[in-house]
Amino acid sequence: MEVCIATMLAAQIFNQRVGNAIQVIYGVVTSGTNWRFLTLEQNLVCIDSVEYYIKEVEKILGIFLQSLQKFVLTSSS
């Protein structure tokens, strides 16, 4: 979890330095069977309190698609 948060912070800093105005950085931690989702917005990291299991693949894919849709909608504006 800590490595994911550090990577998200590094991505935020990199994007700020090159002038990319990305509002939300998304992260995921997985063991392959268990999944946790994170977001970083400004200086606040939010960790989804729900741990998703691979048998819930529809929910996991739904979370990915929701994040991608937000990205596509904001980048096309």
Handedness of CA 62, 21, 36, 29 (dihedral sign): positive
Read off the pTM. Answer: 0.84
In the chain, where does DSSP find H-type helix? 2-17, 57-75
- What mean pLDDT comes out for the span 44-62? 96
Q: Give me the residue spans of the domains in the chain.
A: 2-75
Q: Is the model's pLDDT at 75 over the cut of 80?
A: no
In tens, the pLDDT along 1-25 reads 999 999 999 999 999 999 998 899 9
67-71 contact pairs (CB < 8 A, 24+): 67/26, 70/24
Instruction: Using a pLDDT cut of 90, give the percent of the chain over it.
Output: 81
